[in-house]
Structure 1
Amino acid sequence: MILQSEAATMALGKQLADILLPGDKIALTGTLGAGKTTLARGLLRGLGFEDDVPSPTFAIVQQYEPPEVRLSLAHVDFYRIEDPNEIQELGLDDILMDGAIIAEWPDRMADSFWTEGLQITLEIRNDNTRQLTWTAGPAWKDRWPII
């Protein structure tokens, strides 16, 4: 799938919010500037969040809860994680009991964590559009692709 603009990336995120369920995991892979945070912002807009959506690079986990969103969501950025043991302290399994996770730089975590999830890769093309490729686990059957 080709995303022609930042607005198209935001729109895809909003569509993704419509199908998001508790326990869902979304892994976003791509180089700096590929649109990972933009897609996450679109998802949060689709969930009803109206304020600014900062990148969680420094906070590592940015939590969003009802009533600001229709479903609890943790926006996670593993970029600064150097030791995989630090991930255990984030409480991601607890988040997944009632909510969902969208994560940037998911390669810092074991591949097995993402097996059931939606794994999205964004690549910057020469014409400045974005190429989106994906892999979806069984939990996403009949929900993805949404376009």
Structure 2
Amino acid sequence: MLTTADDTRAFGETLAAGLRVGDLVILTGGLGAGKTTLTQGLAAGLGVRGPITSPTFVIARVHPSLVGGPALVHVDAYRLGGLAELDDLDLDTSLEESVTVVEWGHGVAEELSDDRLEIVLEADPATESRTVTVTGHGDRWKAGVPC
């Protein structure tokens, strides 16, 4: 249970410690569930250049590393009509060289990689706390999820 935005960022920062080049993270949750806030934590943990804001209108942003690690590619798939449009972003090149986070990616981004983390955030409107479910897919995550 993540009770504040700071908790959500801290969770992302902890999760980032287990990520490496080539990892794909798919974030799912309603409006205000904390997808961008979690990505801010991932970015802090990865040591990339910010600020991290929702890429809704630009679709994708690349945040280069400030510490010699992987860049963060932050994608918002909300406006995309499917995998074909996501493919048009030429993310395949970036996937191998970065950590890629796709907000609203469920049903759209799974085919980008057999190895991926899927994170579902559910916000309780009464308390604004969030429940997070992390599921690893593929050989990369057979040993478990890093948090």
Instruction: Tell me the TM-score normalized by structure 1.
Output: 0.88
Aligned-residue CA RMSD (Å): 2.0
- SS of equivalent residue, structure 1 residue 106: coil
Instruction: Tell me the TM-score normalized by structure 2.
Output: 0.88
Counterpart amino acid of residue 129 in structure 2: T
Question: Matched residues, percent identical?
Answer: 37
Larger helix proportion, structure 1 or 2? 1
Contact 1:25 1:114 in 2 (8 A): yes
Aligned partners of 1:21, 1:143: CA distance in 2, in Å?
14
1:21/1:65 Cα in 2 relative to 1: closer, same or farther (>3 Å)? same
**Uncovered stretches (5+) of structure 1, i.e. residues with no partner:** none
Are 2:2 and 1:3 aligned?
yes
Counterpart amino acid of residue 52 in structure 2: V
Identify the residue that residue 127 of structure 1 maps to in structure 2: 127
Contact 2:48 2:65 in 1 (8 A): no
**Uncovered stretches (5+) of structure 2, i.e. residues with no partner:** none
Contact 1:30 1:123 in 2 (8 A): yes
1:82/1:53 Cα in 2 relative to 1: closer, same or farther (>3 Å)? same
Are 2:141 and 1:140 aligned?
yes
Counterpart amino acid of residue 117 in structure 2: L
Identify the residue that residue 37 of structure 1 maps to in structure 2: 36
Contact 1:28 1:120 in 2 (8 A): yes
